């Protein structure tokens, strides 16, 4: 994927530079799910333009920010590359089951075509739309693998936030952006 491939030369340059570095490689941010939360609340559906059976791993960006703060304020993460993820991988059907539990009502997983989704999201033709199509084609074929929370748990010295707690926070009106750990 373009957005991932563009980072490789930067990481390589860091590794070869002799400079002190910490590379954080977060999974898909839970907060990206906020883009569809209005649909969830208003229509009890959650739609993305790739297979609802494609598995993905997630991380809360607040956990990533906390990890970055640790990297900036002490030497424990120096010269390390760290994949950051909450535990487990879920498909969209499992995501909507978590949403359903948090909201106390059924949420349906939907799988629109890319064109239908992009038109509804009002994404104009051009590089952004083309990049999203390529990204979602990749997700459709491979998902977004990962799902091991060991590294993040060790860095934070606590359990990373979970999708269940993220959705519970959204359902209660918290917005998934609060400073408290769930």
CA distance 71 to 55: 29
Average pLDDT over residues 83-106: 96
The HSE-up count of residue 172 (CA atoms within 13 Å, CB side) is 11
Name the residue with tokens 């809360």.
60
Summarised one tens digit per residue, pLDDT across range 2-58 is 666 777 888 888 889 999 999 999 999 999 999 899 999 999 999 999 999 999 999
Domains of the chain from N-terminus onward = 2-171 (3.40.50.720)
Lowest mean pLDDT segment, chosen from 6-15, 99-108, 136-145: 6-15
What predicted TM-score, i.e. pTM, was given to this entire model?
A: 0.87
How far CA 132 is from CA of 45, 118, 121, 126, in Å, comes to 21, 9, 12, 10
Region of residue 31 (phi > 0: left; psi between -120 and 50: alpha; otherwise: beta): alpha
């Amino acid at each position: 994927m373009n957005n991932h491939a563009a980072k490789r030369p930067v990481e390589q340059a860091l590794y070869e530079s002799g400079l002190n570095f910490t590379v954080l490689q977060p999974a898909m941010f839970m907060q990206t799910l906020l883009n569809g939360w209005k649909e969830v609340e208003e229509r009890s559906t959650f739609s993305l333009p790739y297979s609802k059976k494609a598995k993905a791993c997630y991380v809360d960006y607040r956990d990533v920010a906390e990890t970055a703060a640790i990297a900036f304020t002490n030497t424990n993460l120096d010269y390390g590359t760290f994949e950051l993820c909450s535990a487990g991988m879920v498909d969209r059907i499992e995501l909507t089951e978590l949403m359903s539990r948090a909201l106390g009502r059924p949420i349906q997983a939907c799988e629109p075509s890319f064109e239908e989704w992009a038109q509804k999201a009002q994404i104009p033709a051009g590089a952004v739309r083309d990049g999203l199509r390529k990204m979602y084609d990749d997700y459709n074929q491979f998902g977004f693998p990962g799902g091991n929370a060991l590294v993040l748990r060790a860095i934070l010295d606590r359990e990373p936030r979970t999708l269940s707690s993220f959705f519970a926070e959204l359902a209660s009106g918290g917005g998934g952006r609060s400073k408290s750990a769930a």
